[in-house]
Amino acid sequence: MTERRIKLLQVPPPLPPRWPMPLDESIRWVSPYEAEVDRLVEIFFTQHAYLRCMEHAASDLQHEIGGALVGQVLDDVLADARYVVIEDVIPAEHTEFSRVHLTFTQSTLVQLNNTLEDHYPDLQMVGWYHTHPRMSVFLSSYDAWLHRNFFREPWQVALVVEPYRGHGGFFPWQPDRHLDPRAYAGFYELADLQEESVVDWINLEPVQPEPVLAGETDFWEIEEYRP
């Protein structure tokens, strides 16, 4: 009997909820490396979370700052795709930084997990973000180490923001635990606040046109993405 009980406890965790990807309510942003990133998840970033993240990122242009991305993990059965929806951010406390380096301490991870449990009981930590003021968008060897050790789930993503010029990009896990520290991906901007985009990163390109406003007669051509 004891053995049977132990076997019951080894049941794998439940699969993510099933829900179609909210493509109709989203604007797709692609990076120059889009075709190179064989991601395990598609990334939806709500406008609310994007603006909160950018507000935090712009609050210090001298040091690296960061935090957690919180949201949901879902499965689109028809598209055979897993995706995350980033709904909010939790700025990290107790970080240590020099001018070019951010370190999440043990206290940082405890604070992020406590805030998640207290304020977002239905959400998960779907990744983390940090800034690279006046640098490019990449993962340093320390960033990759941190991601490999604390964000191991295949649906957890790293976001790097360059707040000075307005660049940003995501680093998702790729098959066989591959993490490319240079080639970053874009995302789907989930229009939870307004139809018009709020994204101001200049290193990404929108795939779909801005929606035609009522009363406008201009004909909008669909921009095709060419790598």
Contact positions toward Zn ion, by CB under 5 A? 140, 143
Q: Are 71 and 87 in contact (CB under 8 A)?
A: yes
Length of the chain: 227
State the minimum distance, in angstroms, from the CB of residue 64 to Zn ion: 6
In the structure encoding, which two tokens stand for residue 69, read together? 């991305």
The nearer residue to Zn ion, 143 or 180, going by C-beta atoms, is: 143
State the minimum distance, in angstroms, from the CB of residue 143 to Zn ion: 4
The C-alpha atoms of residue 43 and residue 113 are separated, in whole angstroms, by 21
The nearer residue to Zn ion, 104 or 155, going by C-beta atoms, is: 104
The nearer residue to Zn ion, 37 or 139, going by C-beta atoms, is: 139
State the minimum distance, in angstroms, from the CB of residue 158 to Zn ion: 9
The nearer residue to Zn ion, 88 or 143, going by C-beta atoms, is: 143
In the structure encoding, which two tokens stand for residue 179, read together? 């993490």
Element at 190 (helix H, strand E): strand 187-190
The C-alpha atoms of residue 146 and residue 159 are separated, in whole angstroms, by 13
Q: Are 119 and 139 in contact (CB under 8 A)?
A: no
In the structure encoding, which two tokens stand for residue 226, read together? 């060419």
State the minimum distance, in angstroms, from the CB of residue 132 to Zn ion: 5
Cβ-proximal residue to Zn ion, closest one = 143
In the structure encoding, which two tokens stand for residue 14, read together? 């439940």
State the minimum distance, in angstroms, from the CB of residue 51 to Zn ion: 22
The nearer residue to Zn ion, 140 or 174, going by C-beta atoms, is: 140
